[in-house]
Structures are given as C-alpha cells and as structure tokens.
Structure 1
Amino acid sequence: MARPKVHDAALRAQLLTRARELLSSDGTDGVSLRVLARDCGTSTTAVYSLFGGKPELLGELLDEALRRFTAHVDAVRAEDDPVAALVRLAGAYRRAALAAPQLFDAMFGGALPPATAHAALRPLRELVQRGVARGSLRPDLDPATAALTLWATVHGWVSLQRRHLLPEGRDRLEDAVRGVLDGWRPA
C-alpha cells in the first residue's frame, strides 16, 4: 500500500499564502519557517520538504511578486503615444510599489538579481525604442541608458515618497518624468 502524501499541493498553497502575508507585513526578516509552520498547523519539515528552505520559499514568493508587478506595469503599454505611455508607466510603477511596499522592498532590496533588473527595465526600454522609431524621442538616444535613467528617476521618487521625504505638496512624479523626457525630444 502506498504511503499517503502528507505534504500536498493544498498545504503548499496554504504555506505560500501565509508566507506572503508575513512577507507583506514584516518583510523578509518576518518570514520565519517556525512561525510559518506553526501558523499552518504543520512542521518545519513540511516547509523544507515542499520548498527546500527559506531562500527557495522567498525566491518563489519574489518570483510571484515580480510577475504581479510586471503584469501591473505591462497593462499600461498599449498606449499609442510612447512618451505618454512612459509617463503612465511611471504612475503604474508607483501604484504597484505603494500597493505592496514590503514585497517591493523585498524585490528591489539588497542584491538585485539580473533577471529582476531586466524585467523592470524591459517595458521602459521597449517604449523608448518605440519613441525613437516614431520620432517622438531623439534618434541618437540609447534605449538602454534612457530606460535606466527613467527607472532611477521613478524608483528614486517612489523610495522618497515611501519614506515621507518629499516636501509637503510636492508629489509631482509625472512632472519629473515629463521633464526627463522633454530633454530627449528632437530639436
């Protein structure tokens, strides 16, 4: 007779849900395998059996968070005008960051994996390329450098906003992005 499977897909889903809650409220340091197992009525052995350990569990949560974040940002790119879409993309990036700040910190804190950086820059680079191709942006503009500049602008602005370091009444992210983009318009 086959041994019943104790650590099944339902337990895996329950552990992921609770780990996501812990990560969302307390960051990566708040995801304790002992607490997670206790909260889900199981053992740490189950967590190790299903995920391999805390780094793999966090990796799976961050992969999921990145997919959600990317989907949130990707929804903006259908705009006909690539410059207007870049401004809207900045707003979508901010909304995604503010909606899940602990996940945002976990995704972009510490050593950023190259795959994460590539995923974050891809929509920006594609829109800059479209802007160059349509003549909305200078033909000599390097899309990779422009994408990195826009990301630094938006990410920095969001980081300042999240830490309440923007001057009162000065939340003008879209104006800042437009200012950068205006510098890249054809003469």
Structure 2
Amino acid sequence: MAKTGYHHGNLRATILAAAAEQIATDGVDAVSLRGLARRAEVSHAAPAHHFGDRAGLLTALAIEGFELLTVEMNAAGTDFHAAAIAYVRFALRHPGHFDVMFRRDLLRGDDPQLAQARNRSGAALRSGVAAEQPDHSERGQLATQLAAWSIVHGFAVLWREGALENSALAFEQDPEALARTMIATVRFE
C-alpha cells in the first residue's frame, strides 16, 4: 500500500531525521523543504507547516542537536576528559546536526529554545572545566572553558572535514582514541 502522505506518524521527527541525513551526506546547501517533503512522501507544504521556512527547519535541527549533545555530555559526568570525548563522539555520531548547530548564518538567532538548548549543552563542558579549576577566578575559568571548547570542537571539525586524513598527526585511526590521547595532554593550571 502506498503512503498517502497525509497520515504520517510523526512528520516533524521524520523531516528532521531526513534533514540530518541529507546534511551528513550532501551538505547543508542541498537541503530544501520541497526536497525533504519528497523524501518523506508528503505534500510540499507539509514541512512549511511545521517549520515555516528553511531557517526554521535548521533551527529546529540545531535545537535537537544541542539536546542530543546535552544528553551525551551529561552521561559523561563532570570529568573534563570524559566530557571532551563525549563532545567528539557526538560530532561523529550526529554529523548532520553538528554541521548546523554553530552556523548562526543559517539559524534563527533570536529563537529562545535555541538559546536554552545551547546553554544546557555548554553547561556540561563548563562544569568539567570548573571541577578541574575550583580555585581559579571567573575570568580564568572562562578562558579555560573557551580553550577546552576550542580544542574539542576544532578536533571534531578537523576529523569530520578530512583534514587529518593521511596526516602524521593522525597516528591513531580511531577518532575517539586519537581524541582521548590528545585530550590527555591537556593540563589545567
């Protein structure tokens, strides 16, 4: 029996999953509401009903990504090294989400749900850094948090973009193992 497109179980989740998959394989520029409607076998107006426009769709995908990242980071606890590996693991497991989460040019920056989701996901990495430096000033804590985020985010992007392919720096073939070794060198003072 063919789908009618009008009795879809959870169209919103289906469209978000299709968008994440397409971004992971084809890049964010390939995503359109009409194309996603075709993939989900629904009318071309159905995604617009849920997201409004492309920015709405990508904002919803980023929110979902930050929520998934929060779960991953919270599971790691307050240990900085575990949280850092969790961040890298998330980026590798959810490339379609990761590729839009930090692209403010694609998102509705004034969306309060986006701001809340972003803050929740950052709290885990911040708490890991704070646990490592309980006696540091607020400014010192912030500088270290920025450095920690830059390290894990930069590594995830380098790996995802293939920049470490055939590089002597990639002495491990498993990205988590390589990240674990790299992060073990980080010392807080």
TM band (smaller chain): 0.7 to 0.9
**Is the contact between residue 28 and residue 58 of structure 1 (CA under 8 Å) also seen in structure 2?**
no
CA distance in 2 between partners of 1:13 and 1:95 (Å): 22
CA-CA distance at 1:153 after TM superposition:
1.3
Residue 58 of structure 1 aligns to a residue in which SS?
Answer: helix
Q: Which residue identity does 1:97 align to in structure 2?
A: A
Structure 1 unaligned spans of 5+: 1-5
Aligned to 2:87: 93
TM-score (norm 2): 0.72
**Is the contact between residue 51 and residue 57 of structure 2 (CA under 8 Å) also seen in structure 1?**
yes
Identity of aligned residues (%): 31
Aligned to 1:41: 41
How many residues align? The count is: 168
Aligned to 2:175: none
TM-score (norm 1): 0.73
Q: Deviations over 1:74-127 (max 9, x none)?
A: 1101xxxx5xx2112221111111112232121123548583664453222212
Does 2:125 align with 1:161? no
| Residues 10, 156 of structure 1: alpha-carbon distance in 2 compared, 3 angstrom cutoff | closer
Aligned to 2:58: 58
CA-CA distance at 1:33 after TM superposition:
1.4
Does 2:185 align with 1:179? yes
Moved more, 156-165 or 48-57: 156-165
Does 2:19 align with 1:30? no
From the CA coordinates, give the structure whose radius of gyration is larger.
1
Structure 2 unaligned spans of 5+: 1-5, 173-177
Q: 1:118-133 to 2 correspondence within 5 Å? A: 118-133=119-134
Aligned-pair Cα RMSD in Å: 2.8
Q: Which residue identity does 1:170 align to in structure 2?
A: F
**Is the contact between residue 63 and residue 118 of structure 2 (CA under 8 Å) also seen in structure 1?**
no
Q: Which residue identity does 2:97 align to in structure 1?
A: L
